[in-house]
Amino acid sequence: MDLAKKYRVLIWVSLLLLVVNLVTLATIWFRPPIPPAITEPVRESRAKFQRGALVKELQLNTEQAEFYQTSRKKHFKEMRKLKHEIGRTKILIHEEIFSENPDTTKINQWIDSIGVLNIQFERNNYRHFLQLKTHLDEKQIDRFKQLMRESFDDPENNQRREHHRNENSKE
């Protein structure tokens, strides 16, 4: 191969590498940012905040706080079981939907069982709240009622309200 041909090949290879590098950089620069994953320490601190937030908001005494913590742990354990059961049932439905001959009777039965599990889920939530309410005084019940109302509002309002509450607590 003569020298001119070698230079031409070298220039084309260099240009090709330059284009590949520019395309790679462009995809890195112009893609939307990837949100950071929630790490375990963040989850744990969030859980600590949630546990502590209600205790602070309701100004629970030591006995009430202990009752709340044990009740909360038991409640979450029950709720986790229900969520898991709902998830397993949904998987069964999806598997049946994509089988060769889906059995709509089975699918409808599973859908009904998800409905029953959701009813249990809601019932457990409200029983938990009723149980917690029995350990509160009148002032705490009023504040608890207010917090419950806020929790049913628009999620964006909850985030703004929480941010505002945190800003006020810093002052």
CATH 2.60.220.10 for domain 39-170: no
pLDDT over threshold 50, residue 138: yes
Whole-prediction pTM value? 0.57
- Pair 83, 125: CB distance under 8 Å: no
Nearest 5°: CA angle at 93, between 91 and 94? 65
pLDDT of 150 reads 80
Mean pLDDT for 88-112 is: 94
- Pair 121, 76: CB distance under 8 Å: no
Domain spans, the chain: 1-35, 39-170
**Measured in whole angstroms, how far is the alpha carbon of residue 63 from the centre of its chain?**
30
- Pair 64, 135: CB distance under 8 Å: yes
Where is pLDDT greater, at 142 or 155? Answer: 142
What pLDDT digit, counting tens, does each position of 45-88 carry? 455 546 677 888 888 898 988 998 899 899 999 999 999 999 99
- Pair 132, 63: CB distance under 8 Å: no
- What is the residue-averaged pLDDT of the chain? 83
pLDDT of 4 reads 85
Residue 171 banded pLDDT, cuts 50, 70, 90 = very low
pLDDT over threshold 70, residue 100: yes
pLDDT over threshold 60, residue 89: yes
Task: Please state, for a pLDDT cut of 90, what percent of the chain lies above it.
Answer: 47
Q: How many CA atoms lie within 13 A of 32 on its CB side?
A: 3
pLDDT over threshold 80, residue 164: no
